């Protein structure tokens, strides 16, 4: 049983290895940041929707992290289309100004959320609208510039 499990694990790792891009490549770097963004925003959204217990301290920390991460993916997009394994649409490089606008929109929305968490006696109700704005900013850019 153990041997069989090990064999399956090896096959899985080999297959994953074939698929994997160089972890230092820009595509891998931005994907890793996007995953972290997703993970962080899901935890915050989960606290507001009752999937996770609301914890004001953890929420405030998560909002700071989200705001920091929101500034990080863009440096890993080159000026020219690049990258196998990328799910970015070619339009991104044809309409870079629009892409950058949407990136700034995300940064602005995470700044508002972060600011909102500085209140005393943080209440989920006051965080819902700014969190919705963050999620809308993710979605707006994905609809225009990401292949699903």
- Please tell me whether residue 68 binds ligand HEC under the rule CB under 6 A: no
Which string of x and - marks every residue 8-47 that binds ligand HEC (by CB under 6 A)? -------------------x--xx--xx-xx--x------
Q: Are the C-beta atoms of 106 and 85 separated by less than 8 Å?
A: no
Query: Which residue in this structure is represented by tokens 């929101």?
Result: 70
Q: How many CA atoms lie within 13 A of 40 on its CB side?
A: 23
Using CB under 6 A as the binding criterion, the count of chain residues that bind ligand HEC stands at 24
Q: What angle do CA 115, 46, 62 make, to 5 degrees?
A: 35
Q: What angle do CA 28, 79, 112 make, to 5 degrees?
A: 70
- Please tell me whether residue 59 binds ligand HEC under the rule CB under 6 A: no
- Please tell me whether residue 131 binds ligand HEC under the rule CB under 6 A: no
From 60, 106, 113, 122, residue interacting with ligand HEC (rule: CB under 6 A)? 106
- Please tell me whether residue 65 binds ligand HEC under the rule CB under 6 A: no
From 87, 119, 126, 143, residue interacting with ligand HEC (rule: CB under 6 A)? 87
How many of the other CB atoms lie within 10 Å of CB of 82?
13
Which positions lie near ligand HEC, rule CB under 6 A?
A: 27, 30-31, 34-35, 37-38, 41, 83, 86-88, 92, 99, 102-103, 106, 134, 137-138, 141-142, 145-146
């Amino acid at each position: 049983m153990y041997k069989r499990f090990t064999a399956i694990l090896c096959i899985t790792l080999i297959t994953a290895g074939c698929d994997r891009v160089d972890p230092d490549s820009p595509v891998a770097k931005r994907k890793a940041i996007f995953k972290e963004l997703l993970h962080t925003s899901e935890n915050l959204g989960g606290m507001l929707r009752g999937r996770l217990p609301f914890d004001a301290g953890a929420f405030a920390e998560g909002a700071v992290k989200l705001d920091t991460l929101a500034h990080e993916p863009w440096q890993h997009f080159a000026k020219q289309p690049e990258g196998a394994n990328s799910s970015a649409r070619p339009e991104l490089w044809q309409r870079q100004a629009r892409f950058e606008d949407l990136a700034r929109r995300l940064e602005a929305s995470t700044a508002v959320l972060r600011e909102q968490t500085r209140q005393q006696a943080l209440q989920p109700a006051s965080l819902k609208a700014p969190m919705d704005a963050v999620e809308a900013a993710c979605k707006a850019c994905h609809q225009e510039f990401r292949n699903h």
